[in-house]
Chain A
Amino acid sequence: MLGKLLKYEIKAMGRIMLPIYLVLIALSAVFALTMRLTIGKTAVGFLEKFAIVTLVLFVAAIIAACVMMLILVIQRFYKHLLGTEGYLMFSLPVSTGQLILSKLLTAVLWIVIGLIAGVLAGFAMVGILSSVPEFMKEVQNAWNSLFTQADLTRNLTLFVLVILAGVIASLCKVYASIAIGHQFGRNRALFAVFAYVAIGIAELIVAWVVSKIDASLGFRIFSGMSSSGLDLKNSLTAIGISAIQICIYSVITWLLLDRRLNLE
């Protein structure tokens, strides 16, 4: 049943995200091609203007993708699970856990696809702008500047895991906030925002208390939450912290939706 839920959720989100991602990649390619045409030419007024416009559109598309993703994550949960469409979803012969998991996994999937699309767009630009050997060198440089340490694979894996854990934790936090807001008959949206802020404050307090007990761990909690240092110890701490967040927030979400659901 989870597979079927995922199928529909992926379709529902992809309907909106996929076109945005495609536009993103297309715009980056158009920009790079236009720039390439200007190389070695003197009268390039129009082309340059065109390139600038595409660049602006490209940046706008990136912002749109981020904003749309945020809106969709909230909407798919708030409106489509706890709104009128919830009548359909919660009458399906599936468990509450499966419903939550389908939302979470789909959001993660589309965020990852978005990141890949972003990287592809970047590659497309650099690749078209420079010649191929040059481009490969650029890629090499990018790797090297990102990962100065010797063990590239290990760092890359850590980097991806830190990001992934952070993304999942953030999503769980959003879901938990919405589920808490749902407990308040009126002004559910407002209380969801309150809940989100309150959770954020609670996180800070926990981090502060921990830093009082163990200064170095406290530092890592702060840094783990805000940035992703590639030091092994820091990364593992960050992943651990995300894991704890994921556990707490998903249990809250599940309990509230399974035991205290009140669709109106």
Chain B
Amino acid sequence: MDTLLEARGLKKSYGNVAALKGIDLRLMSGRIVGLLGPNGSGKTTLIKIACRLLQPTEGQILIDGEAPGPVSKSKIAYLPDKDFLPDWMKTRQLLQFYEDFYADFDRNRALEMLSSLEIPENMTLRKMSKGTKEKMQLILTMSRRARIYLLDEPIAGVDPAARDYILRTIIGNYEENALVMISTHLIADVESVLDEAVFLKKGEIVLHKPTDQIREETGKSVDEYFREVFKC
């Protein structure tokens, strides 16, 4: 197992507001990790620093041993928590875009998933429903044979059927030795797919353990335990 993501003393402030207060974290290959915390706990900030969309105020983050840059970006399949694709593009053009820029993009895998959802190839993103658009983004991300998958709130605000579809797509498609990090505040929905849980509270990691260990030690589900830790 290799260390694929490592944060050392990572801090990030927005003006006077500290979003991350010194994160130390090591995540290994072959693991599905839940980055769990309520809204505003710093989940998105951490992921965005790993993708080099944000600059840390202090400390550093290493992706497969390297500082974020074009090389690390080629290894990360990132699913942002918002609509990030050009909405004038057709399905076909989006596939071409991903194929052009990512050497690890598996077109056949994407086509298979698209056909099972019956998304036409010449449909523009703008004409898709919100749910279809989200699935489209997920399909493009999960069709990469990446080393690291960073999925920011992939199941927020979707109905149970779509949630099942999304989780199945994730566990059915990630590369075997990849690291998958799923950020969410909906723990009950994801806990059965997680190897490890990282609890993030107000910019600090309060717990990082295998999920089965949490269940065994506390006699509770991760969700229950989470509620206890984050009780207001």
Interface residues of A (CB under 8 A from B): 1, 4, 7-8, 12, 15, 80, 84-88, 90-95, 185, 259-263
Q: Which residue of B lies closest to A1 (CB)?
A: B101
Q: Which residues of A contact B97 (CB under 8 A)?
A: 8
Q: State whether the Cβ of B161 lies closer than 8 Å to any Cβ in chain A.
A: no
Q: In the complex the two chains form, is B73's CB within 8 Å of A86's CB?
A: no
Assembly CA distance A178 to B90 (angstroms): 29
Q: Which residue of A lies closest to B87 (CB)?
A: A85
Q: State whether the Cβ of B226 lies closer than 8 Å to any Cβ in chain A.
A: no
Residue-wise interface mask of B (178-213) relative to A, using a CB-CB cutoff of 8 A (1 in contact, 0 not): 000000000000000000000000000000000000
Q: In the complex the two chains form, is B55's CB within 8 Å of A259's CB?
A: yes
Q: Which stretch of B1-9, B45-53, B217-225 is in the interface?
A: B45-53
Q: CB < 8 Å: which of A7, A85, A88, A93 contacts B70?
A: A93
Q: In the complex the two chains form, is A263's CB within 8 Å of B15's CB?
A: no
Give the distance to chain B from A92, nearest Cβ to Cβ, in Å.
Answer: 5
Q: CB < 8 Å: which of A15, A90, A94, A259 contacts B53?
A: A90
Q: CB < 8 Å: which of B48, B70, B82, B100 contacts A4?
A: B100
Give the distance to chain A from B111, nearest Cβ to Cβ, in Å.
Answer: 20
Assembly CA distance A92 to B84 (angstroms): 12
Q: Which residues of A contact B53 (CB under 8 A)?
A: 86-87, 90-91, 261-263
Q: In the complex the two chains form, is B70's CB within 8 Å of A87's CB?
A: no
Q: Which residues of A contact B70 (CB under 8 A)?
A: 93-95
Q: State whether the Cβ of B58 lies closer than 8 Å to any Cβ in chain A.
A: no
Q: Which residues of A contact B82 (CB under 8 A)?
A: 84, 87
Q: Which residues of A contact B100 (CB under 8 A)?
A: 4, 7-8
The secondary structure that dominates the A interface is loop
Q: CB < 8 Å: which of A80, A94, A262 contacts B101?
A: A94
Q: Which residues of B contact A262 (CB under 8 A)?
A: 53-55
Give the distance to chain B from A254, nearest Cβ to Cβ, in Å.
Answer: 14
Q: In the complex the two chains form, is A15's CB within 8 Å of B88's CB?
A: yes
Best-buried of B14, B48, B76 by chain A (most CB within 10 Å): B48
Q: Which residues of B contact A91 (CB under 8 A)?
A: 51, 53, 73, 76, 78
Q: Which residue of A lies closest to B48 (CB)?
A: A263
Q: In the complex the two chains form, is A87's CB within 8 Å of B73's CB?
A: no
Give the distance to chain A from B122, nearest Cβ to Cβ, in Å.
Answer: 15
Beyond A84-B82, A95-B70, A259-B55, 19 extra complex contacts between A and B, CB < 8 Å: A7-B100, A8-B97, A8-B100, A12-B88, A15-B88, A84-B83, A85-B86, A86-B53, A87-B80, A87-B84, A88-B86, A93-B70, A93-B71, A93-B101, A94-B70, A95-B69, A261-B52, A261-B55, A263-B48
Best-buried of A7, A95, A263 by chain B (most CB within 10 Å): A263
Give the distance to chain B from A100, nearest Cβ to Cβ, in Å.
Answer: 14
Q: In the complex the two chains form, is B85's CB within 8 Å of A88's CB?
A: yes
Q: Which residue of B lies closest to A15 (CB)?
A: B88
Q: In the complex the two chains form, is B51's CB within 8 Å of A90's CB?
A: yes
Q: In the complex the two chains form, is A80's CB within 8 Å of B86's CB?
A: yes
Assembly CA distance A62 to B187 (angstroms): 57
Q: Which residue of B lies closest to A7 (CB)?
A: B100
Q: In the complex the two chains form, is B86's CB within 8 Å of A93's CB?
A: no
Q: Which residue of B lies closest to A3 (CB)?
A: B100
B62-86 residues at the A interface, CB under 8 angstroms: 69-71, 73-74, 76, 78, 80, 82-86
Q: Which residue of A lies closest to B81 (CB)?
A: A87
Assembly CA distance A200 to B154 (angstroms): 45
Give the distance to chain B from A104, nearest Cβ to Cβ, in Å.
Answer: 19
Q: Which residues of A contact B71 (CB under 8 A)?
A: 93
Residue-wise interface mask of B (95-106) relative to A, using a CB-CB cutoff of 8 A (1 in contact, 0 not): 001001110000
Q: In the complex the two chains form, is A261's CB within 8 Å of B84's CB?
A: no
Give the distance to chain A from B16, nearest Cβ to Cβ, in Å.
Answer: 11
Q: Which residues of B contact A90 (CB under 8 A)?
A: 51-53
